[in-house]
Structure 1
Amino acid sequence: MRAVWYEKTGPAAEVLRLGDIETPQPGPGEVRVRLHASGVNPSDVKSRSGVRGPIAFPRVIPHSDGAGEIEAVGEGVSAARIGTRVWVWNAAYRRSFGTCAEFVCLPEGQAVPLPQGTSFEAGACLGIPGSTACHAVFADGDVTGQTVLVTGGAGAVGHYAIQLARWGGARVIATVSGPEKAAAAAAAGAHAVINYRDGDVAAAILAANAGRPVDRVVEVEFGGNLPVTSAVIGDGGVIAAYGSMADAEPKLPFYPLMFRHVTLRMLLVYLLSAKERAATVARLTAALEAGALQHAIAATFDLTESARAHAVVESGRLIGNSVITIG
Structure 2
Amino acid sequence: MRALLVDRSAPAGLRLGEAPEPVPAPHQALVRVAATSLNHGEVRHVLENASDGQILGWDAAGVVERAAADGSGPAVGTPVVTLAPDGAWAELRAVDTDLIGTAPEGADLGALSTVPVAGATALRALHRVGPLLGRRVLITGATGGTGRYAVQLARQGGAHVIASTAGPAAYGDGLRALGAHEVVPEPKALDAPVDGVLDLVGGTQLVDAYAKLAEGGTLVAVGHSAEQGEHFPFGALFGDQGRHDRSLVTFFLLGCRGLAPDLSRLAARVAAGDLDPQIAWRGGWDRAAEATEALLGRRLHGKAVLTFA
1:230–1:257 Cα contact (<8 Å) kept? no
Aligned to 2:160: 171
Structure 1 counterpart of 2:203: 223
User: What amino acid sits opposite 1:45 in the alignment?
Assistant: V
Find the aligned partners of 1:123 and 1:235 in 2 and give their Cα distance.
37
Contact 1:12–1:48 (Cα < 8 Å) also in 2: no
Q: Which amino acid aligns with 2:229?
A: E
Report what 1:188 is aligned to.
178
In the alignment, is the contact (CA less than 8 A) between 1:182 and 1:195 conserved in 2? no
Maintained 8 Å contact 1:28/1:74? yes
1:95 is aligned to none
CA distance in 1, matches of 2:223, 2:72: 39
1:156 aligns with 2:145: yes
Aligned with 1:63: secondary structure? coil
Whether the 8 Å contact between 1:12 and 1:310 is mirrored in structure 2 is no
* Partner residue in 1 for 2:66: 72
Match of 2:16 in 1: 18
Matched residue SS, 1:174: strand
Shift in Å, 1:78:
5.9
Q: Distance in 2 between matches of 1:145 and 1:300?
A: 36
Q: Is this contact kept in 2: 1:223–1:250, CA < 8 A?
A: yes
Native 8 Å contact 1:115 1:288 kept in 2: no
| 1:81 Cα deviation from its structure 2 partner | 0.9
User: Which sits farther off after the overlay, 223-232 or 125-134?
Assistant: 223-232
Question: TM-score with structure 2 length normalisation?
Answer: 0.88
Distance (Å, rounded) in 2 between the aligned partners of 1:195 and 1:107: 40
Alignment of 1:15-54 (within 5 A): 15-47=13-45, 49-50=47-48, 53=49
Match of 2:248 in 1: 264
Counterpart of 2:288, as a letter, is: S
Asked if residue 205 in structure 1 is aligned to residue 205 in structure 2, the reply is: no
Give the superposition deviation at 1:239: 0.7
What are the residue-to-residue correspondences of 1:82-121 with 2, within 5 Å? 82-92=76-86, 98-116=87-105, 118-121=107-110
SS at match of 1:81: coil
Residue 292 of structure 1 aligns to which amino acid in structure 2? D
Please list every run of at least 4 consecutive aligned residues from structure 1 whose deviation after the TM superposition is greater than 4 angstroms.
Answer: 285-291
Alignment of 1:278-289 (within 5 A): 280-281=262-263, 284=266, 287-288=269-270
1:306 aligns with 2:288: yes
Tell me the residue number matched to 1:324. Answer: 306
Deviation of the 1:104 alpha carbon: 0.9
Q: Which amino acid aligns with 1:325?
A: T
Q: Determine the structure 1 residue equivalent to 2:118.
A: 129
Q: Residues 226 and 104 of structure 1: is their aligned pair in 2 closer, same or farther, counting only changes over 3 Å?
A: closer
Match of 2:226 in 1: 246
Which AA in structure 2 matches 1:175? Answer: S
**Shift of residue 145, structure 1, vs aligned partner:** 1.1
Q: Tell me the percent identity.
A: 31
Aligned pair in 2 of structure 1 residues 137, 79: CA closer, same or farther (>3 Å)?
closer
Q: Is the 8 A contact 2:38 2:57 kept in 1?
A: yes
1:298 match: secondary structure: strand
Q: Which moved more, 1:141-150 or 1:23-32?
A: 23-32
CA distance in 2, matches of 1:295, 1:27: 31
Question: 2:59 is matched by which residue type in structure 1?
Answer: D
Quick one: distance in 1 between partners of 2:42 and 2:209?
A: 28
- Distance in 2, matches of 1:175 and 1:139, equals 19
User: Cα gap change, 1:29/1:286 in structure 2, threshold over 3 Å: closer, same or farther?
Assistant: same
Letter in 1 for 2:275: L
CA distance in 1, matches of 2:227, 2:94: 38
Q: Which amino acid aligns with 2:190?
A: I
CA shift for structure 1 position 82? 0.8
1:247-297 deviation per Cα after TM superposition (whole angstroms, max 9, x unaligned): 63222247444412111011122x32325x367447635754774311110
Alignment partner of 1:274 is 2:257: yes
